[in-house]
Structure 1
Amino acid sequence: MSRFILIDGDKANFIPAFGKAIVTVKPGNLKASGKATLKGKKVCVDGDEKKLSVPGCMYISPPYVIPGTGTLKIESLGPDQKAMKTNTGGKKVLLQGSIFKAKFEVQSPAQEPPKPPAPPVPDPMKQYSGMGNFTTTNKIWLGT
């Protein structure tokens, strides 16, 4: 099935639920490195998704309700997000597709409110798993 090809500046949108963590998500911008271009913008190819990073996102994970921060990244693409046939410069192009696997890497852990005289308790988790999808400004060029 043909799907729209992703181009430079297209968005990776993250779903706020990352397991039991709730992340205040922001979209990430894809940085394309393909040889081909569409209206002056490079095409996204296999590997470009690994460079996407959205730092400074706040999160909580009950009972750790004092917000912490971390970085959103794409863990792996869905099976319909990498072309089987369409390529540029010897690399498969990325497609809008459906859902990718995402990860949230904790930089500053959320904390459980203190129970005096004890201090706040930090969230022990270093990473959470979630999902996301792509939106594209390309409404012309399809890949398979």
Structure 2
Amino acid sequence: MADFILITGDKANFNPTFGIATVNVRPGDLIGTGKSKINQKLVCVDGDEKNVIVPGCLYKTAQHTIPGVGMIFIESLAGNQKAKKTKSGGKPVLLKGALFNAKFKVLAPAQQPSTPNPIPDTTLEYLGNGTFMTTNMKVKGT
């Protein structure tokens, strides 16, 4: 099924729920490396999603209420987010699609208040998801 092709400047919007963790999310920016252009911007192709990294995101859990910090990135695309036929420079273009899989990697653990010392979160990664927002409302790929 045809869907809008992603281009440089489009956003990866992450949902704030990553398992039991709640993350203060910010959008990530897509940078296309395809050979084709839409609206004078390079199209995104397979692999460009790996460069979407959002550092410095605060998080906490129900038990760990002293915020920690980590980074969000796209773990994998849904089947409808990579074109099967439409290519640029020999690589499949990326499509808006549905939900991609995301990962939150803990860099400084959130902590549970406790005396004499707070108890750190021992989970190092949390899984979540997100969606793409595109400014391309004209060109679709399949």
> By the TM > 0.5 criterion, same fold?
yes
TM range (shorter): over 0.9
> C-alpha displacement at 1:34, in angstroms?
0.4
Q: How many residues are aligned here?
A: 142
**Which residues of structure 2 form unaligned runs of 5+?**
none
Partner SS, residue 50 of structure 1: helix
The Cα offsets for residues 90-144 of structure 1, whole Å up to 9 and x where unpaired, read as: 0000000000000000011100002x2x210110011000010000000000000
Partner SS, residue 66 of structure 1: coil
**Which residues of structure 1 form unaligned runs of 5+?**
none
Q: Equivalent residue for 1:75?
A: 75
Partner SS, residue 137 of structure 2: coil
Q: Equivalent residue for 2:122?
A: 124
Distance in 2 between residues matched to 1:32 and 1:71, nearest whole Å: 21
Runs of 4+ in 1 over 6 A off after TM superposition: none
> C-alpha displacement at 1:67, in angstroms?
0.3
CA RMSD in angstroms, aligned pairs only: 0.6
Q: Residue type matched to 2:133 in 1? A: T
1:52 aligns with 2:90: no
Q: Residue type matched to 1:16 in 2? A: P
Q: Equivalent residue for 2:34?
A: 34
Q: Residue type matched to 2:127 in 1? A: S
> C-alpha displacement at 1:16, in angstroms?
0.5
Q: Structure 1 length normalisation: TM-score?
A: 0.97
Partner SS, residue 79 of structure 2: coil
- % identical aligned pairs: 54
Q: How does 1:1-144 map to 2 (within 5 A)?
A: 1-114=1-114, 116=115, 118-144=116-142
